[in-house]
Amino acid sequence: MKFTEDHEWLNVEGDLVVVGITEHASTQLGDVVFVELPEPETQVSKGDEIVVIESVKAASDIAAPVDGEIVEVNDALADNPGLVNEDAMGSAWFFKMKVEDMSQLDAFMSEDEYNDMVE
């Protein structure tokens, strides 16, 4: 797994990258009440705001961590946005993307580096 400074996690599964937010981010947000996901087949560039999360505390945007194409979204979050609070690092992934250049992932932190950052 790789981690961004924006509290996203990225996990490589074959030729896809699965993206979600970290446990730390879900705790900071509080109870998540709504998640708006991008459409599959959407081309994104690093930094594009593509997910909207609303919690009882605030609304946040999640940006695309790398360039690529959204190939699948986690529809379970539409029916159960609280899943983000229950299992942020597992079943509450947001989307899967086909990445144009996997070397983009080299710029992100390891889990230990991320944990050092949030401490």
- Taking only the tens place, the pLDDT of each residue in 3-36 is 999 999 999 999 999 999 999 999 999 999 999 9
pLDDT attached to residue 84: 96
pLDDT at 57: 87
* pLDDT surpasses 90 at 100: no
Q: Are 1 and 105 in contact (CB under 8 A)?
A: no
- Average of per-residue pLDDT across 51-78: 94
**Does the pLDDT of residue 103 top 90, yes or no?**
yes
Residue 20: CB atoms within 10 A of its CB come to: 27
| Residues listed for the chain | 119
Taken in order 30, 95, 34, 92, is the CA torsion positive or negative? negative
Alpha-carbon distance of 102 to 100, in angstroms, equals 7
SS3 20: strand
The pLDDT, as a whole number, for residue 58 is: 86
At residue 52, the pLDDT reads: 96
Question: What is the third-level CATH fold of 2-101?
Answer: OB fold (Dihydrolipoamide Acetyltransferase, E2P) (2.40.50)
